[in-house]
Structure 1
C-alpha cells in the first residue's frame, strides 16, 4: 500500500478512482467520487490535491487535501484540510483508512513543508470516521462546518 497524488496516476488508474464506492450512509457525510473529482478538477491549483491510496496498484481510497485559498473559515492559516475521505466499501475494515491516516502526515510534510497541522470537520453522528480519526491521534479542536443542528466537530492533527 502507498499514497500517490492523483496527478501521478496513469489514465487507467484515474478511471479506476471512479470505482471507489462508499456505503450510502457514508455518502451522506463524504459525498461520492464523482463529486470529489469535480472539485479537484475544477481548477489547477498548487493549494488543492487529490490523494489516492493504491493497493496492488489499484486505487482503493481517496481524499482531497486543501490549503491556502481553499481553507475553510474555521481552519488555521497554517493548516491543510482533509475533505471527502472515501475508502472503498468492499475493503472497509481492513486497515486502509488507518494506513491512510498514518501515511498522510509524511506526504503533507513532503509536499507542503510550511503546513503545521491537518484539520477536518466531521459530523458528530459519523461514528466510524470519528473512531478512525481519534485512534489516529486527531484531537477535538472546536467547531467545524455548520451542521443540521449546531456545528460539526473540528479535529486537528499536529505535524
Structure 2
C-alpha cells in the first residue's frame, strides 16, 4: 500500500467523487462531522487561510482533514499555529494506522505550504476519550481549555530542515 498526503485542490475529478464516499463510524459523527460538512467548509475558490488535505492510499482517498491558519484561525489557538479540524478516516480502513500516517505526513507539508506555522493545535471533547488518547500517543500535548470544556492540544512542528528530510 502506497500512501501520500495531498491538498484537496490537487485531486482528480474521479478522486473528488470517491472522497465523497468517506464514512466514519456513527459514534464519531458528533465529533468530526461527516465528509459533506467538512467539504462544505472549503471555500469555492482557494483561500490562504484554509486547506483541505486528503490521504490517498494507492491513489484512492481514505482520509480527509482541514487545516486553518490566520486569518481563519480559531480564537483559542496561538498566532503561530494552524488548527486541525474534521480528521476523518474512512470506517472501512480504520484500525490500519492511517490516522497516524496523516499526522506524520503533515509536518513536511505544512512547512512547505505555510513555513510561518510553528505548531498545530486542535480541540477535542473530553468525552471523546479515544481521540484524546490517540493524539496524546502521537506526541500532542494538552495545554488547557479551548472552549466550552473542549481540551486544547498542541503539536510543535520540527524545524523546516528536519521536516523536509522526513519526506
TM-score higher than 0.5 here? yes
Give TM-score, length-normalised by structure 1.
0.94
**Equivalent in 130, 155, 158 of residue 157 of structure 1:** 155
Q: Is the 8 A contact 1:13 1:59 kept in 2?
A: yes
8 A Cα contact 1:29 1:126, kept in partner: yes
What SS does structure 2 have at the residue aligned with 1:29?
Answer: helix
Could you tell me which residue of structure 1 aligns to residue 115 of structure 2?
A: 113
Task: State which of 46, 49, 53 in structure 1 corresponds to 2:48.
Answer: 46
Higher alpha-carbon deviation: 37-46 or 130-139? 37-46
Q: CA deviation at 1:131?
A: 1.9
**CA offsets per residue over residues 16-71 of structure 1, 9 Å max, x none?**
11111001110000000000110113553111000000001000000000000111
CA contact (8 A) 1:141 1:154 kept: yes
Closer, same or farther in 2 for the Cα pair 1:144/1:43, shift >3 Å?
farther
Number of residue pairs matched? 155
The answer to whether the aligner puts 1:69 opposite 2:71 as a matched pair is yes
* Structure-2 change in CA distance of 1:128 and 1:42 (3 Å): farther
Cα RMSD (Å): 1.0
Deviates more, 1:65-74 or 1:40-49: 40-49
| Residue range with higher mean Cα deviation, 114-123 or 41-50 | 41-50
User: 1:53–1:60: 8 Å Cα contact kept in structure 2?
Assistant: yes
- Given that 1:122 and 1:153 are in contact with CA atoms closer than 8 Å, whether structure 2 keeps it comes out as yes
Structure 2, gaps ≥5 residues long: 158-167
2: CA distance, partners of 1:55 / 1:129 = 22
The alignment's TM-score, normalised by the length of structure 2, stands at 0.90
Alpha-carbon distance between aligned partners in 1 of 2:81 and 2:49, rounded to the nearest angstrom: 11
1:77 to partner: Cα distance: 0.5
Distance 1:29 1:16 in 2: 22
Q: Give 1:128 deviation, angstroms.
A: 1.8
1:47-104 deviations in whole A, cap 9, x for unaligned? 1000000001000000000000111110001000000000000111100001111111
State whether residues 101 and 133 of structure 1, in contact with CA within 8 Å, keep that contact through their aligned partners in structure 2. no
